[in-house]
Structure 1
Amino acid sequence: MQHHKNIILIGMPGAGKSTVGVVLAKTLGMQFIDTDILIQERAGKMLQEILDTDGPDAFKRIEEETILSLHPRNAVIATGGSVVCSPDAMAHLKSGGLAVYLKISYEEMEKRLKNITTRGILLLPGQSLRGMYDERVPLYEKYADLTVACSGEDLESVVENVIEAL
């Protein structure tokens, strides 16, 4: 299965985008890009540090700049959970590939995000985890070319399900 298109993984924090992405890229012989790591390299600090010291707006700006500077081919791209909040970043990513939404339930996300304070999760001031979840679901659904349910699935099954969906 040869792709010149990219596979863009979108979904909630904790959905498994980075983990699934690595295995998927290996399985399909594609390169793997984790935009969170690129953001950290670009900013010279951890995601949580950017949020704590520079605030959510600066984080969104760096995330968007980082994504707009990417021009990959044949890559699996794991995005940060907040990428769907940027129409420009999403348009840029989707111009080169398919968006695959790794869908998890709110309960599953909560369970997976045991340590939320260090994960670099973009919560707006006063926003609860539930509020973020409810706000983003329609965005993931809007941008998704394919949706793969991941709640209660192990890594191998999710990877197989993504490949099948493609």
Structure 2
Amino acid sequence: MEIKKNIVLIGMPAVGKSTVGNLLAQKIGFNFLDSDDLIQSIEQKILAQIIVKKGLDQFLQIEENHIVSIRYKNHVIATGGSVVYSKKAMDHLSQNSTIVYLFAHLDMLLKRLFDLTGRGVAVNPGQTIEELYNERTPLYNRYYDIKIECDSMTAEQVVERAVKYLS
């Protein structure tokens, strides 16, 4: 597969996008960008504060605005799990990026992900992890170029698998 200008990691919260992204960038000689860190830096608030203060819909609009402003080359970009709600953001990323979906089954996510609000997960009030998973999985499946199941792999193993697929 031909690597485009960037590699974008998508997937549910707690699948390891930031960890894998950082390691992958080092491995292939790209720079690393965490879109959540970018948003927090520009907005001067952590994600949870933005969501509480401005509401979920406004947060998703803020996320979309920042994603479509990304104009990097040779970057591995770890996105927030909610990026797939924006067709505009995903179309922008897809133009010059290979989209890698880091997939984990629900039972693994239930072990890793427990504080949705404190973590700053874009979730409707009262929405469960199961509901979030069922809502987002079809969206992740719509946009990926490469899908890597990472339930039973270390971050280093996921990176090796990604490098293999990207070669």
**TM-score category, normalised to shorter length:** over 0.9
Deviation at 1:3, TM superposition (A): 5.2
The letter of the residue matching 2:44 is: G
Aligned with 1:148: secondary structure? strand
> 1:154 and 2:154 equivalent?
yes
Q: Following the alignment from structure 1 to structure 2, what is the Cα–Cα distance between the partners of residues 41 and 27? A: 26
Q: Following the alignment from structure 1 to structure 2, what is the Cα–Cα distance between the partners of residues 86 and 14? A: 20
Show structure 2 runs of 5+ residues with no match: none
> 1:30 and 2:30 equivalent?
yes
**Retained in 1: the 8 A contact 2:116–2:123?**
no
Q: Following the alignment from structure 2 to structure 1, what is the Cα–Cα distance between the partners of residues 4 and 107? A: 36
Deviation at 1:4, TM superposition (A): 5.5
The letter of the residue matching 2:55 is: G
Q: Following the alignment from structure 1 to structure 2, what is the Cα–Cα distance between the partners of residues 156 and 129? A: 26
The CA RMSD measured in Å over matched residues stands at 1.3
Superimposed CA distance per residue, residues 6-38 of structure 1 (whole angstroms, 9 cap, x where no aligned partner)? 000000000100000000000000010100001
| 1:14-29 equivalences in 2 (<5 Å) | 14-29=14-29
Tell me the equivalent position of 2:48: 48
| 1:27-106 equivalences in 2 (<5 Å) | 27-106=27-106
Tell me the equivalent position of 2:122: 122
**Retained in 2: the 8 A contact 1:148–1:165?**
no
The letter of the residue matching 2:152 is: G
Aligned with 2:126: secondary structure? coil
Tell me the equivalent position of 1:139: 139
TM-score by length of 2: 0.95
**Retained in 2: the 8 A contact 1:106–1:133?**
yes
The letter of the residue matching 2:124 is: L
Q: Following the alignment from structure 1 to structure 2, what is the Cα–Cα distance between the partners of residues 164 and 22? A: 17
Q: Following the alignment from structure 1 to structure 2, what is the Cα–Cα distance between the partners of residues 58 and 38? A: 17
Identity %: 45
